[in-house]
Structure 1
Amino acid sequence: MDETPTARQKRVWDRSAPSYDRQIQLFERIWFTGAREWLGERASGRVLEVAIGTGRNLPHYRPGVTVTGIELSPEMLAYARRRAADLGMPADLREGDAEHLPFDDDSFDTVVCAFSLCTIPRPAAAVAEMRRVLRPGGDLLLVDHIGSTWPPIRAGQWLLERLTIRAAGEHFTRRQLPLVRQAGFDVVEAERLKAGSIERIHARK
């Protein structure tokens, strides 16, 4: 039987889990600078982090928030649970699919997703689910790498994703802002950084 896109992503991230933190550190210093702090400053109340990975956003949430995390990969989730324990943070971290969130409508004040819609097989479905579980007036916070506004970089991204989409489902020229608008969110704040290749979005239901 052919492997589904979701099953492939689970396999890819399970395999990547032991080396993920080490590999992403350089990107965070050079390319993703300040992104996790930006998310943490804006998240409030009951927070759902979709595709929480190894929990790298956990240290940046402010005191008083209640964090729930969902992650497709059990191996990545194990690292997130250890990080939460080390921080003394009583987060509710569970295995699940961003395209089918296991929560009731209007359950959260804030939904966060960082550097993950680039790999989720059906990002529009995931954004729709994020909206469903947000309470009216709730905040959506997204950070991701997208196609650069500078043509030479965008051309390189396009060439790179000819390999990464097939190998790991990783896209470099996707853009999430149109999906956010199509889902019915009001965009509060949107900015592009690093030659337009990083986008931060704050939207409201």
Structure 2
Amino acid sequence: MTGATAKQRRVWDKSASSYDRQIALVERVWFGDGRSWLGRRARGRVLEVALGTGLNLAHYAPDVTITGIELSPEMLAIARRRAADLGRAADLREGDAEHLPFGDGSFDTVVCAYALCSIPDPRAAIAEMARVLVPGGILLLVDHIGSSVDPLRGAQWLFERVTIPLAGEHFTRRQIHLVEAAGLVVEETERLKAGTVERILARKP
């Protein structure tokens, strides 16, 4: 594990107990129905990368098989409790998005929500997501990105001067180019909230 990854684990362990409360307003006002958007499109054997406290678990269809990877043990413990409360069978494991512990072509769908903004090497993480997909499998991403409105993007850049060193949180990243570089074909994309939130559905050829 790199130093940057270890730092991220400490950050998320520290915030795990208050995370759901802290993000509740952001979910309603900024992220909207992003989690249900993911859930409606996931199919078959699903891997969720960086599942956090398991907020997506309630949105998956009953017939999908869920595996989840989370770097933070504290976050993972909350996700496991949430799965149990929902009566949702899920294989939830501690792991690193940049080094997924699965063989090539293990999943029909890979999901990552609001996490690539803080994963130290998003290029490596997306390459790993592509690797574990079956041919024809889909990658579903939702994340906050750099705005398409220049003044707002400038404000995001200034905000990053604090959030990157403090918590490894980026606001001007955009993942679509990394998805294409990993050899996936983008079939659906949508930018919302002045271009600050992007949803991507990409398929492995």
Structure 2 length as normaliser, TM-score? 0.98
What's the offset of the Cα at 1:63? 1.2
After TM superposition, list the pairs within 5 Å mapping 1:12-27 onto structure 2: 12-27=11-26
**1:58: which partner in 2?**
57
Partner residue of 2:92?
A: 93
Amino acid in structure 1 at the alignment position of 2:13 = D
| Partner amino acid, structure 2, of 1:118 | C
SS at match of 2:195: coil
* Pairs within 5 Å for 1:113-128: 113-128=112-127
Specify the alignment match of 2:9 in structure 1: 10
Structure 2, unaligned runs of 5 or more:
none
One-letter amino acid matched to 1:31: W
Letter in 1 for 2:185: D
Q: What code does the residue aligned with 1:63 have? A: P
Query: Which residue type is aligned with residue 195 of structure 1?
Result: A
- What letter matches 1:8 in structure 2? K
Count the aligned residue pairs.
Answer: 203
Runs ≥4 in structure 1, deviation > 6 angstroms?
none
- Residues in 2 aligned to 1:12 and 1:61: alpha-carbon distance in whole angstroms: 27
Whole-Å separation in 1 of the counterparts to 2:182 and 2:89: 31
Quote the residue 1:162 is aligned against: 161
**Equivalent residue of 1:31, what SS?**
helix
Structure 1 residue 155 displacement after superposition = 1.1
Tell me the equivalent position of 1:108: 107
Consecutive unaligned residues in structure 1, runs of 5 or more: none
Aligned to 1:103, what secondary structure does the other structure show?
coil
**TM-score, L = length of structure 1:** 0.98
> Partners in 2 of 1:86 and 1:153 — Cα distance?
40
Q: Distance in 2 between matches of 1:157 and 1:58?
A: 30
Distance 1:111 1:24 in 2: 23
Instruction: Work out the CA distance in 2 between the residues paired with 1:72 and 1:155.
Output: 30
Identity of counterpart residues, as a percentage?
72
